[in-house]
Amino acid sequence: MRKPLMAGNWKMYKTPAETASFFEKFLPLVANSPHCDVLICPPFVDIAAAVAAAKGSSVAVGGQNLYWSTKEGAFTGEVSGPMLKAAGCASVIIGHSERRQYFGETDETVLKRTLAALESGLQPIVCVGERLEEREAGRTNAVLETQFRDGISKLTPEQFAKVVIAYEPVWAIGTGKTATPEMAADAHRALRALVQGAYGKDAAAAVRILYGGSVKPDNVKGLMAQPEIDGALVGGASLEAVSFASIVNF
Ligand code: PGA
């Protein structure tokens, strides 16, 4: 059985003070939610506030990106895996479509960052997903295959066992257009088949695949009713405590 993971991706929202007040409201609302793992990925500058606020709770904190060198060095503006780990992070999002679209992220750099996360003891949450024109051209599965092949298929089985995959159709992110539960489940099945091809049946049965893209309190139930969907990566609806808690408590 795969335990669901509900992960909030705060993107470039909230200050440290706003982070603290989110946790004050959020923690009591998810205090009795042992059915799933809960993760908040705030901006780097809010990680200390989030880790302090989450102390003693079961809510974990993660980064939204990391640099692929695990050694400190002259890389202005970058943050390393060991730094995230030392700051109290458990996980890190890698290859989010906004990173791919606006910041030059490629399957190759996704792989490098995934290796750095693993080397740092962080759980990588690796994002894949097609753009609207790719879906309309019937290329969804081909795109997922390329992203998988050139990215996380190159890990060892031991490394892969620590990875969470997030299927995030780019056209559904921040647009209010959610994939239907069936569309999402189809893509998850395609991804699981790729995992099976590369790592075998047990790895395919074990890997958690999250859905991301306009997950809201009113559509999470339908998505989670699909056995293929093991949780959600939530942007906008994770910013407000009551909203994200109702997603966690789907
Ligand atoms: P959204 O973002 O929930 O605001 O669509 C999801 C994501 O980008 O991870």
Note the pLDDT tens digit of each residue in 119-134: 999 999 999 999 999 9
- Calculate mean pLDDT across residues 205-217: 97
Poorest-pLDDT segment among 20-29, 82-91, 172-181 = 172-181
pLDDT of amino acid 92? 98
Name the residue among 209, 221, 241 with its Cα closest to residue 178: 221
Ligand 1 within 6 A of CB of 215: yes
Query: 126: Cβ–Cβ under 8 A, 6 or more apart, which residues?
Result: 94, 95, 110, 114, 151, 152, 163, 164, 165, 166
C-alpha to C-alpha distance for 190 and 224, rounded to whole angstroms: 17
Name the residue among 177, 199, 191, 179 with its Cα closest to residue 126: 191
- Calculate mean pLDDT across residues 34-55: 98
The pair phi, psi for residue 161, each rounded to 5°, is: -60, -20
Mean pLDDT of the chain: 97
Q: Is the pLDDT of residue 174 over 90?
A: no
| pLDDT one-digit tens code per residue, 13-39 | 999 999 999 999 999 999 999 999 999
In this structure, the chain runs to a length of: 250
Q: Is the pLDDT of residue 185 over 90?
A: yes
Q: Which sequence positions are flagged as catalytic?
A: 96, 168
C-alpha to C-alpha distance for 117 and 30, rounded to whole angstroms: 27
| 3-class secondary-structure state, position 73 | coil
| pLDDT one-digit tens code per residue, 104-121 | 999 999 999 999 999 999
- Calculate mean pLDDT across residues 150-177: 95
pLDDT of amino acid 1? 83
Residue nearest to atom 6 of ligand 1 (CA): 235
**The tokens of 12 are what?**
């470039």
178 falls in which pLDDT band (50, 70, 90)?
A: confident
Residue nearest to atom 3 of ligand 1 (CA): 235
Taking the chain, what is the end-to-end CA distance rounded to the nearest angstrom?
Answer: 18
C-alpha to C-alpha distance for 138 and 136, rounded to whole angstroms: 5
pLDDT of amino acid 127? 98
Say how many Å lie between the CA of residue 5 and the centre of ligand 1. 15
Q: Is the pLDDT of residue 175 over 90?
A: no
Ligand 1 within 6 A of CB of 39: no
Say how many Å lie between the CA of residue 127 and the centre of ligand 1. 11
pLDDT of amino acid 176? 83
200 Rama class: left (phi>0) / alpha (psi -120 to 50) / beta = left
Residue to substitute in 64, 96, 234, 243 for testing ligand 1 pocket (most ligand atoms within 8 angstroms of CB) = 234
Ligand 1 within 6 A of CB of 129: no
C-alpha to C-alpha distance for 13 and 204, rounded to whole angstroms: 34
pLDDT of amino acid 151? 95
